[in-house]
Amino acid sequence: MTRRAQLDPALSTRVVATRTLVYERPGDAADDRPDHVRAASGLAMQGSRLIVIQDDASFLAEVTTTGVSAVKLPRGLHGRRRFEVSLGNKLDKLDLESCVAIDDELWAFGSGSLPIRDKICIVRDAIPRVRDAAPLFDRIRDLLGGAVNIEGAARVREELWLFHRGNTGPDDLGPAVIRFALPAMRTWLAAEGAMPAILSIEGYDLGEIDGVRLGFTDAICEGDSRVFYLATAERTPNAIDDGVIVGSQLGVITAGSVRAATLASPEGTPVKAEGIALDPKRPTHAWVALDCDDPDQPALLYDVELVGPWR
């Protein structure tokens, strides 16, 4: 069974503020860190801090009301922490595309779009540990019947939901949610148990924009079962090459419906919405991270007001 999203005219989004994500300290050549957050690909609230992951730079960004600081992740091949076409190492990156705060840990998931990206990075007390998750990604591929591109992660009660974008090529059946038991995943990531079983895989039809299929780019659960998600339509033949962004949507999944609204810049132009977190102090607001697909441009953080009956 495939769940289908519907644009709901009663729902809308309004960008009330934009923040450019530049680090408090200048770039550090020894750490291979640029001056700014680059391809922001996922968000998570951890206490009072907003954590940003990046798919082409091995740093977490911690965002507070007063500034943006960096947490180093392990270096990649040849000691690099930056990965881009101009350096000739774009395919060497872990491609961390989604993250979720689980108690006092942050779990960041590689996309799985290449073997080197079959990784999960667990961060606790600013100390990162990278777990080889190839067997788990292989199992997801088997059940999807093809390639995988994980771009969202959310804790839903005592389950972990991973969100497959559905943009790996013409044979991709489309967006999907893969469900695991959270205790089993926690035990496995601690290297203390068997690989967690997949509880189910559910397909989604999120619609399209200008003939380009929308695919999941992030998600967050509110309460016991309401899941907010981002979806983007990108004109690209696969999950590795960047393409033209034709639009994004913000949606909400409940037991009875999947509803969505357009998400665009304040000027009304298309954006690549890659990360979402709900503001715990303002129930009608969400933080949304934008990826500019340009390593020389800082990622943006939108303060988005959710207008209408989202709940």
> What DSSP assignment string belongs to 81-140?
SB--GGGT-GGGS--EEEEEEETTEEEEEE--SSGGG-EEEEEETTEEEEEE-HHHHHHH
Give the model confidence (pLDDT) of 113-130 as tens digits.
999 999 999 999 999 999
Give the model confidence (pLDDT) of 82-99 as tens digits.
999 999 999 999 999 999
How far is it, in rounded angstroms, from Cα 52 to Cα 54?
7
pTM: 0.97
Q: Is the pLDDT of residue 241 over 90?
A: no
CATH of residue 217's domain is 2.120.10
Tell me which residue range forms the domain holding 168.
2-307
Q: Is 35 helix (H, G, I), strand (E, B) or coil?
A: coil
How far is it, in rounded angstroms, from Cα 176 to Cα 152?
10
Give backbone dihedrals phi and psi of 117, rounded to 5 degrees, phi first.
-100, 10
The conformation of residue 245, written as its DSSP 8-state character, comes to: E
In the chain, the number of structural domains is: 1
Give the model confidence (pLDDT) of 191-221 as tens digits.
888 999 999 999 999 999 999 999 999 999 9
Return the pLDDT at 311.
92
pLDDT band at 1 (very low <50, low <70, confident <90, very high): confident
**Which segment, 45-49, 102-106, 239-243, is predicted with the most confidence on average?**
102-106
Token readout for 182 is 């959270």
